[in-house]
Structure 1
Amino acid sequence: MTTTQQQATPFTLTHISLHQFTIDLDKPLPVGKQRIEKRSGLVLSATASNNMLQRQACVEISPLSGLDNQGQTLIGFSRETLAEVAEQLTALLPQLHQQPSDNLLALAEQTPYPSLAFGLSQLHGKLAGKFNGHSITPRTVPLIYRQSGEPLTAVADRVSSLPSSVYAVKVKVAQDSLEDEIKLIHQILAIRPNLKLRLDANRGFSLEQAIEFAACLPLDSIEYIEEPCHNPDDNQDFYHAIAMPWALDETLNDPTYQFELQPGLRALIIKPTLLGSIEKLQHLIETAEEHGVRCILSSSLEASLGIEAISRLAQMMTPDEIPGVDTLGAFSQDLVVSSGKEHSLSLEELTPLISLS
């Protein structure tokens, strides 16, 4: 039997398991204007076999929802909760057991939960060998943000320590007063004048605030600002007033979103966990790039297993763009896949929810 025939022979899901994890963070991570100090999610594992081959794979499914470090519900990201995804998976897995692995794609299209759709389609891709042969080139755009109560000098120290090879950074804005944030931007550029900045406002400004903020910045140093206005309909007026390119992020989370070219739209910041299946991701990228809009894959604060997958997808789908995955530094441990931390949690160390053999 040839390799082509082996690959054409349907794979059957002979073993499936689901585990849950929680990892403490060494420092809070920003979720819009909120902060989280731990990250929870699921790991879905499967073995698929045909007459000649057996393949194993696991994926992270971590909706960006739950509570922040003040006990408040996270707003503006995943609509589904971890409990809802776990409940649906627990019901679906017996239907998948001993069935063709292609059924994963069918269920990915049927589920209303984007994080689950992404996980199921990703698992199918891994079991089909579609992720093989795509090495990951270490590349990242450092994330710069100010911790609560942190002096600007501490942020300056982090900027000063950036490797000389770094040519762009992402900066969280619309978090503090306009005065402090304008100072922060100028301080970063005073230390590293050649840096290009990708600003992320998370819809934190009114139109008037966004214009006032942008008017005080050197436009030549700004690649774009993500979601500058509370009301996304104001983004075009913002661009007409100040000529600063802008990008979409949260807007893409709306299940009814359809790409539309707009004045000033420079990039789509795509979080696969919030968007849905890999097929939906591929379609959005192709449509945007046809209109000259950049597509940058970004994390939803996944652990190392999820970050590895997004990095690999970025290498495959957007090879000319550096993905936004500079969030692992805050994690106290890795998950299944090592990023170099002292400890990486194995499946055996996670909480088992279901196992079918």
Structure 2
Amino acid sequence: MTVTEISRLALYGYQIPLNPPLPVGRQRITSRHGLLLRAITDQGEAVVELAPLSGTDMDGEPIDGFSRESLQQLQDELTTLQPQLGSTAALERAAGQTALPSLAWGLGLLALKLEGQLTSRQPRLAPVPLIYRLPNETADELVQRLATLPRDCRFAKLKIAQNDVEAELRLIYALLAARPDVRLRLDANGGFSLTQAVDFCACLPKGSIDFIEDPCRESADCEALHSALGLGYALDAPLNAPDFELSPLPGLRALVLKPMLIGSPAKVQALIAAAQQLGVRCIISSALESSLGISDLAAFAAQETPDEAPGLDTLAAFEADLLVSSGKALCLELGQLPLLASWEAGC
């Protein structure tokens, strides 16, 4: 990669209300907070989103099981690092050294964008719709929403292990009766014990299930679930551990990669390469980023996982777009956002 010198860096903050609240595991959030890092060079500029999935949920409880770092930690580390961030090569070095995954992703992504190595090409396959019940929505209304999805929709993702098991199973069968051509990706967010997972999955129409994501509280129990029922599973949350190493696992069908929670583009690319060696699929997924972050993830997915439909269908609840308009009435621009810091690069 060529090296481009950076003349100025600027950091902005954003907060966008969500309506309806979005599920984060078994919690829900009513707004999304994040930072934007802008780099200016003699050739142009680029902006990336830094948005760890942390903070508090709609009940004021800490968000559990996602990002370990806070926005303040990001801002503090950027203030410390900024004298070193005078080029795209320096951005890549810092991305490989920081212990904050969202900062590593943002710095590495910024280098790619400044060097023109992240195109605006969109995925060949449409993002997988995320199906969840809206406030005051009945199960029948949810089924009707799925029935109206485009006819070329091949997959849909459904959150499970959140409500009554029998009600969730009835919903799955109703969804598939409405759209028998759609295969479901079930996401349990580690909500089952092994016994509960076996009992639940034994009742599933397995031919219509693409995989079940993080089915068990203990990831080691996923192999036992597969051994008992032959159902394929995907891993998501375990990938976010700093010491995660991929190894051959019976029944492992896919990795669900949330780059904002994993780290630098180079780290994500290495995971994809390792998975491909094992015949494991890789699906790029969002950590509820804004339209800017989703646009960058879509471009990254188009380049790195072109044959997989990404999991990026999380923008409908955002009350405003951020820099990248998808047709919403309100599109926030940099001039509308609070400027938190501005630095001469390398100073």
TM-score (norm 2): 0.96
Correspondence for 1:317 = 304
Correspondence for 1:4 = none
Is 2:246 aligned against 1:253?
no
Correspondence for 1:3 = none
Correspondence for 2:21 = 28
Q: State how 1:218-233 maps to structure 2 within 5 Å.
A: 218-233=205-220
Equivalent residues of 2:186, 2:209 under 8 A apart: yes
Match of 1:122 among 106, 109, 132: 109
Correspondence for 1:84 = 73
Amino acid at match of 1:70: D
Match of 1:110 among 59, 72, 97: 97
Equivalent residues of 1:29, 1:330 under 8 A apart: yes
Structure 1 position 73, deviation (Å) = 0.3
Structure 1 position 211, deviation (Å) = 0.8
Structure 1 position 147, deviation (Å) = 3.9
Amino acid at match of 1:330: A
Is 2:231 aligned against 1:238?
no
1:191-226 CA distances to partner (integer Å, 9 max, x unpaired)?
111210100000001111111111111110001000
| Whole-angstrom CA distance in 1 between matches of 2:4 and 2:153 | 43
| Whole-angstrom CA distance in 1 between matches of 2:280 and 2:136 | 37
| Whole-angstrom CA distance in 2 between matches of 1:73 and 1:337 | 29
1:154-198 CA distances to partner (integer Å, 9 max, x unpaired)?
211211221111121001000101111001100101111121010
Quick one: structure 1 residues 284 and 138, their matched pair in 2 at CA, closer, same or farther if it must change by over 3 Å?
Answer: closer
Amino acid at match of 1:231: E
Match of 2:10 among 4, 17, 20: 17
Equivalent residues of 1:20, 1:352 under 8 A apart: yes
Higher relative CO (CA 8 A, sep ≥ 6), structure 1 or 2?
A: 2
Structure 1 position 137, deviation (Å) = 4.6
Structure 1: 5+ residue stretches without partners = 1-6
Is 2:254 aligned against 1:267?
yes
Instruction: Say which SS state the counterpart of residue 172 (structure 2) adopts.
Output: helix
Equivalent residues of 2:10, 2:37 under 8 A apart: yes
Quick one: structure 1 residues 23 and 252, their matched pair in 2 at CA, closer, same or farther if it must change by over 3 Å?
Answer: same
Equivalent residues of 1:65, 1:80 under 8 A apart: yes
| Whole-angstrom CA distance in 2 between matches of 1:114 and 1:307 | 17
Amino acid at match of 1:16: L
Quick one: structure 1 residues 136 and 227, their matched pair in 2 at CA, closer, same or farther if it must change by over 3 Å?
Answer: closer
| Whole-angstrom CA distance in 1 between matches of 2:146 and 2:341 | 45
| Whole-angstrom CA distance in 1 between matches of 2:240 and 2:279 | 21
Aligned identity (percent) is 46
| Whole-angstrom CA distance in 1 between matches of 2:154 and 2:95 | 37
TM-score (norm 1): 0.93
Equivalent residues of 1:203, 1:228 under 8 A apart: yes
Instruction: Say which SS state the counterpart of residue 88 (structure 2) adopts.
Output: coil
Amino acid at match of 2:159: K
Match of 1:343 among 327, 330, 333: 330
Equivalent residues of 2:123, 2:306 under 8 A apart: no
Instruction: Say which SS state the counterpart of residue 67 (structure 2) adopts.
Output: coil
Instruction: Say which SS state the counterpart of residue 340 (structure 1) adopts.
Output: coil
Correspondence for 1:169 = 156
Quick one: structure 1 residues 233 and 139, their matched pair in 2 at CA, closer, same or farther if it must change by over 3 Å?
Answer: same
Structure 1 position 11, deviation (Å) = 1.8
Equivalent residues of 2:284, 2:301 under 8 A apart: yes
